[in-house]
Amino acid sequence: MLNSFNRYVGTVLGAALLALPVVVSLAHGADRGEAKATIGSAKVTIDYGRPALKGRDIQKMIQPGQLWRLGADAPTTIDSTADLDFGGTRVPKGKHILLARLVEPGKWTLVVSSKPAFQFEPGAKLAEIPMELTEAAESVEQVTINLANRDGKGDLEIAWGKMRLRASFTSAR
């Protein structure tokens, strides 16, 4: 009788643990976004969380030198069917993590990494390229990432509040 009770408790606890990630994911509530484009021979997909600004000041949320994970919940990823070229650095096809670094006020870089922001170490950096910062007239409440093919180059734009960050890359040759 004790064995069947232990099996029952084990089954119930196992089911509860399997359901926990779903409950935790729903509790945070950030929408997911996806941006896709074909750049040269590469089909590229970016998957990201979409946190809301909720009146926060972006400039006060990130300090110079810090990495921003570009979204919420699960890491923002870039997945490509072919190698990509980020400013002369070849990034192998497959799934990698995208981060942004505030170098100094007004100066940002895009970081392609093998590890998320909370586990980042210098050896995890696959590529780092400058991003152009502009201010838009219209504010965007949720993080939005756009990806487009512009004259054979991948044009990546990150919008949040009035901040717009833009970087480009190509399919590796």
The pTM assigned to this predicted structure is 0.81
C-alpha span between 41 and 4 (Å, rounded):
57
- Amino acid at the residue 32: R
Query: Do residues 89 and 95 make contact, with C-beta atoms less than 8 angstroms apart?
Result: no
pLDDT for the residue numbered 173: 87
Helix, strand, coil tally for the chain in percent (to 5): 20, 55, 25
**What string of pLDDT tens digits covers the 173 residues of the chain?**
545 544 544 444 444 333 333 333 333 557 999 999 999 999 999 999 999 989 888 778 888 999 999 988 899 999 999 999 999 999 999 999 999 999 999 999 999 999 999 999 999 999 999 999 999 999 999 999 999 999 999 999 999 999 999 999 999 98
Query: Do residues 14 and 7 make contact, with C-beta atoms less than 8 angstroms apart?
Result: no
Structure tokens at 33: 């976004």
